[in-house]
């Protein structure tokens, strides 16, 4: 699973409902939800 840093919880978590997206400049990224607080989390780069 992909991990990201949750700004609200202030710790590294595993991304729930992770989706592969592409930024405007063509770089890959992963977007999902924090399983603890429900905040949207984001990580640039392939997972």
Domain ranges of the chain: 3-44
Q: Which residues pair with 16 in a beta bridge?
A: 33
List pLDDT tens digits, range 1-47: 789 999 999 999 999 999 999 999 999 999 999 999 999 999 998 75
The pLDDT assigned to 47 comes to 59
Residue 38: the pLDDT is 95
Q: Cβ distance 42 to 34 under 8 Å?
A: no
Q: Which residues contact 14 (CB under 8 A, 6 or more apart)?
A: 1, 2, 3, 35
């Amino acid at each position: 699973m992909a991990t990201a840093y949750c700004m609200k919880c202030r710790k590294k978590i595993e991304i729930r409902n992770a989706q592969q997206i592409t930024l405007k400049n063509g770089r890959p990224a992963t977007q999902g939800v924090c399983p603890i607080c429900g905040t949207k989390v984001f990580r640039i780069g392939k997972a």
